[in-house]
Amino acid sequence: MQVHVYDTEKQVSTAAAMLLAAQVIRKPDSVLGLATGSSPVGCYQQLIQWYRDGVLDFSKCISFNLDEYCGLPVEHECSYHAFMKEQLFDHINMKASYLPDGNAPDLQAECRRHDEAIRAAGGIDLQVLGIGRNGHIGFNEPANQLVYGTQIVRLTESTIQANRRFFDSEDAVPRQAISLGIGGIMSAREILLIAMGADKAQAIQETIMHDITPQVQASILRAHPHVTILLDKAAASRL
**Binding stretches for ligand GLP (CB under 6 A):** 35-39, 66-67, 130-132, 138-139, 159, 163
Any catalytic annotation for residue 141?
A: yes
**Which of 136, 140, 206, 232 is the catalytic position?**
136
Nearest to ligand GLP of 16, 94 (CB atom): 16
The answer to whether residues 94 and 58 touch, using CB atoms and an 8 Å cutoff, is: yes
Nearest to ligand GLP of 57, 190 (CB atom): 190
**Which of 9, 115, 125, 141 is the catalytic position?**
141
Nearest to ligand GLP of 29, 199 (CB atom): 199
Nearest to ligand GLP of 50, 83 (CB atom): 83
- Mark out the alpha helices in the chain (DSSP H runs): 9-26, 41-52, 80-87, 107-120, 157-163, 182-186, 201-209
User: 115: helix, coil or strand?
Assistant: helix
Any catalytic annotation for residue 140?
A: no
**Which of 9, 65, 67, 115 is the catalytic position?**
67
- C-beta of 133: minimal distance to ligand GLP in Å? 8
Nearest to ligand GLP of 27, 133 (CB atom): 133
- C-beta of 25: minimal distance to ligand GLP in Å? 25
Q: What is the DSSP letter of 205?
A: H
**Which of 65, 134, 140, 163 is the catalytic position?**
134
Any catalytic annotation for residue 206?
A: no
Tally of CA atoms within 13 A in the half-sphere of 128 that contains its CB: 28
Any catalytic annotation for residue 134?
A: yes
- C-beta of 67: minimal distance to ligand GLP in Å? 5
- C-beta of 230: minimal distance to ligand GLP in Å? 12
d(CA 83, CA 16) in angstroms, rounded, equals 19
Q: What is the DSSP string of 11-67?
A: HHHHHHHHHHHHHHHH-TT-EEEE--SSTTHHHHHHHHHHHHTTS---TT-EEEESE
For residue 124, count other CB atoms closer than 10 A to its CB: 26
- C-beta of 88: minimal distance to ligand GLP in Å? 14
Residues ≥6 apart with Cβ < 8 Å to 49 = none
Residues recognised as catalytic: 67, 134, 136, 141
